[in-house]
Structure 1
Amino acid sequence: MSQRWKNRPEGSNWGDFGPDDQIGRMNLITPERRLNALKEVRDGKVFCLCLPLDYPGGNVLNSARFPPQFHTVMRDGKVYFDLAQRESDPRLTDVGCDEAVTLYSQYSTQWDAFAHKGSLFDADGDGIAEKVYYNGYHVVDPHTSKPTHGEVGAAALSIDKMAETCVQGRGVMIDLRRHLGDERQAVGYDALMRMMEADGATVETGDMVCFHTGLGQVILDMQRAPNESIRTMCPVLDGRDDKLLQWVTDSGLVAIISDNLAVERSSTLGTDPRLGERGAALPLHEHCLFKLGIHLGELWYLTELAAWLHANRRAHFLLTAPPLRLPGAVGSPATPVATV
C-alpha cells in the first residue's frame, strides 16, 4: 500500500504499477509491444498530426488560453534578430536570430499530464475529501500550501515523466467523422463498437487510440478566426456512458487522443444536465487521468491520416508522440508523427 493513500477510488488502478508510479498505463508499452507496432510500418509514409501551434486562433475554444506570443532576445544591447556579429569582430560574417515565446501549453495540439486533472477524494481515510491526483499524489504541499514545483508547477505527475517513456507504440484510428459527419452528438459504447467493427479497428493492450471527429480540419479551414459554432460541432465521446468507461478500463489502451477540444463534452459548454448531485464535469478525464493513469491528447490533426488509412483499408499505424520534457508542466504541446 502506498504511503500517500489508504483509500483508492473505485475502479482505479492506483498502486498496480507500484506505489511511486507516475506514468500509469504507459507502463504497458513494453519493448515487445513497441516491436509489434513497428510491424505496422509498410509504406514508410509519415503524417504530421500537429496543428500549427498558433491554431485555433483567438480564444473562442477556451477563454483562459491564448496563442503563442513572441518576445525579443537581447544581445549586447541589441535585438538579436537578423543581427550581424561583425560589430564584435569585423572579420565575422555570421548573422543570427533568437527569440523567446510565451506558450500556453494546452492551447493547440497537446498532451494532458496526470497533474492536469485531479478530484476531491478521501484518499487518506480521515473522512474528508481532499484535492488529490493519480496514485495519491498532490500538486500542492499540504504543509506549506504551495505548489510542489516553482510558483505554479507539479513536482510529481508532470509531463516530463511521460516524455521519459518516449511515447512510441501502436496507434489505432477510429473515424467518427466518416460515420457521423460534422453534427454534434455524443458517442457511447454501443455506437462505438458498431463503427469499430465496420472499420476493422481493434484495440489491444498498449494501444494509443485516436478518435477522428473532423474538428481539427474545421479549425484549419477557419484560418485562425474560429467563431462560436466551433464549440458545438462534430462528435464527442460520451463520458457519462458507464459502458464506454468500462471499455476504456478493460481494453488496456494507454492513451486516448482526439482532434477536438476535450475528447468528451467540454465543460466550457456549461454543466452537463446529467451530472446529478455530485461528480466530475469531465467524467472521462476523471476516469483516465485521475483513476487509471491514461494520458489524453487533444486538438490533434487527424484528417489526412484518417483518409489515407480508410483508402488503404487499414486502421493501425506506428505513433511517435513525446511531449516536451518540461519538469513541472501539467500539459505540453506535441508534434506527433504517424508512420504507415
Structure 2
Amino acid sequence: MQDTNSPRWQRRPDGSTWGDFGPDDQLGRVNLLTPEQVLKGVREVRTGQTFCLSLPLDLPGGNALNARRHPPRLAATERDGVPYMNFPMQNLDPTSIDVLSDDQVLLTLQYSTQWDAFAHVGAWFDVEGKGEERKVYYNGYRAGEHVLGGEDDGHEHDCGGTHGMGARRLGVENFAVKGMQGRGVLVDFVPHFGTARTLVGYDILQDVMRRDGVTVEPGDMLVLRTGFADVVMDGAGHADAETLHNAGAVLDGADERLLQWITDSGIACICADNYAVEAYPAREREGRKSLLPLHHHCLFKLGLPLAELWYLRELAEYLRAEGRNRFLLTAPPLRLPGAVGSPVTPVATV
C-alpha cells in the first residue's frame, strides 16, 4: 500500500496500521483510548475499591528470566561523600530539628511490571519498496535516526538526558502523556489451566472467553491472567529458572488466526501477568521470521502496546466472585523521554 503523505516510507507491512492515524503518529492503537472509552471504564466502577496490579519491582528476583535485566539497586543520595539517610539537618544548621532521608535507584526499566514502547521491537523491512531492507519501527521510524544507539548511530545526540542513546520518536513518554486509562477486560486462564505452562492459540482463547462470558469491544484494554505472576509472587524472588519457564499460559504468537483476531478486535493494548506475553521462542516456522511474532505483529505492525509481569490475582478473584470481568484501568508509565520501556503501577478500580 502506498501513502505519499509519509515522510519515512513508501511501502508498509501487510496488515499494518502505519499511516492510519497520521503520517507522524506515535500512539498507534492507543489513539483508541478516547474520552468515550475512559467513560466506559468509569461506568464499570460500582464500589470504588482499588487493586494494585504491580509486582514489587524487585521481583521476579535475580536474572533467571533475562540475563540483561537486573533488580533495582536502591541507594541514598550523597553530598560530599555523605549519604543522606537519617541525616540530621543540624549538621548544616545547629537550630534544625529535621532528619532527612533521600534516595536514588538504578533501575532496569523492563525488569518487573512494565510497558513496552513501540521502540522496543522493530524489524528489517523494505520501506522504500526498492528491495533494500533497513531497521525500522512502527510507522517507519528508523534506527539511527529516530531510535539512537548501537551500531546504527553515527551521531552524537542528547536524548532525554542520555547522551547518544534513546528513542527520539516512539518513546514511552508518549503513552504517559496520553494517560493509558480506559476500560479493562480480564480474561483469566488460571481457573481453566492452573499455573501450568499452556500454549494459548485462537481456539483456546475464544473457548475461555465464551465459557466465562467475556466480550471484548474496540478500544478495550485486554488484560490476561496466566498465573505466571502468582508463581513469581509465591516464590518471593527465589523461583528457579526451570520453574519460571514452565509456569503460566502464553499466547501462541505463531497462530495466524490469533494475530488476525487481535487486529480485528480493535483492542487498544494487551496487558499480561507473564513474561513476554507470548511463547519465546515461538513455534518453529519456515523461512525468515520473527522470533517474537506477537511482538512483531503488535508493536511493529499495529502500534499496539504490550505490558508484562502485571499482578492480577486479587483483582481476578474479586471479579470472578462478583460475576464480572470489566473494570476501570489506569496505567500510565513514567514520563521518561527516550525510554523504550517503563515500570508501571497499574490500578484497577471496580
Name the structure 1 match of 2:33: 29
Judged with a 3 Å threshold, the aligned counterparts in structure 2 of structure 1 residues 155 and 188 are, in CA distance, closer, same or farther, namely same
Q: Which residues in structure 2 correspond to 1:1-340 (within 5 Å)?
A: 1-141=5-145, 145-146=154-155, 149=159, 150-228=163-241, 229-267=243-281, 272-340=282-350
Aligned 8 A contact 2:76 2:101 in 1: no
- Cα distance in 2, alignment partners of residues 195 and 19 from structure 1: 38
**Match of 2:222, SS?**
strand
- Cα distance in 2, alignment partners of residues 95 and 139 from structure 1: 48
Look up the equivalent residue of 2:36 and give its one-letter code: E
Aligned 8 A contact 1:28 1:254 in 2: yes
- Cα distance in 1, alignment partners of residues 319 and 81 from structure 2: 53
Structure 1 stretches of at least 4 aligned residues deviating more than 4 Å after TM superposition: none
Shift of 1:89: 1.2
Judged with a 3 Å threshold, the aligned counterparts in structure 2 of structure 1 residues 77 and 236 are, in CA distance, closer, same or farther, namely closer
Shift of 1:71: 3.0
- Cα distance in 1, alignment partners of residues 336 and 155 from structure 2: 19
- Cα distance in 2, alignment partners of residues 144 and 102 from structure 1: 25
Task: Report how many residues are paired.
Answer: 336
- Cα distance in 1, alignment partners of residues 79 and 299 from structure 2: 43
Shift of 1:183: 2.1
Look up the equivalent residue of 1:98 and give its one-letter code: D
Look up the equivalent residue of 2:285 and give its one-letter code: L
Look up the equivalent residue of 2:226 and give its one-letter code: T
Aligned 8 A contact 2:254 2:283 in 1: no
Look up the equivalent residue of 2:276 and give its one-letter code: A
Judged with a 3 Å threshold, the aligned counterparts in structure 2 of structure 1 residues 280 and 97 are, in CA distance, closer, same or farther, namely same
Moved more, 45-54 or 62-71: 62-71
Aligned 8 A contact 1:84 1:94 in 2: yes
Shift of 1:63: 1.0
Deviation string for 1:44-96 (max 9, x for gaps)? Answer: 11100000000010000111101001233113542111101112211111111
- Cα distance in 2, alignment partners of residues 158 and 171 from structure 1: 23
Aligned 8 A contact 1:24 1:294 in 2: yes
Shift of 1:151: 2.6
Using structure 1 for the length normalisation, give the TM-score.
0.96
CA RMSD of aligned residues (A): 1.4
- Cα distance in 2, alignment partners of residues 145 and 253 from structure 1: 38
- Cα distance in 2, alignment partners of residues 209 and 115 from structure 1: 21
Gaps of 5+ in 2: 147-151
- Cα distance in 2, alignment partners of residues 77 and 190 from structure 1: 60
Identity of aligned residues (%): 52
Aligned 8 A contact 2:115 2:342 in 1: yes
**Match of 1:66, SS?**
coil
Aligned 8 A contact 2:195 2:231 in 1: no
**Match of 2:112, SS?**
coil
Judged with a 3 Å threshold, the aligned counterparts in structure 2 of structure 1 residues 146 and 212 are, in CA distance, closer, same or farther, namely farther
**Match of 1:236, SS?**
strand
- Cα distance in 2, alignment partners of residues 144 and 115 from structure 1: 15
**Match of 1:71, SS?**
strand
Using structure 2 for the length normalisation, give the TM-score.
0.93
**Match of 1:179, SS?**
helix
Shift of 1:141: 2.2
- Cα distance in 2, alignment partners of residues 135 and 288 from structure 1: 12
**Match of 2:167, SS?**
coil
Moved more, 109-118 or 301-310: 301-310
Gaps of 5+ in 1: none
Aligned 8 A contact 1:139 1:156 in 2: no
Shift of 1:146: 4.4
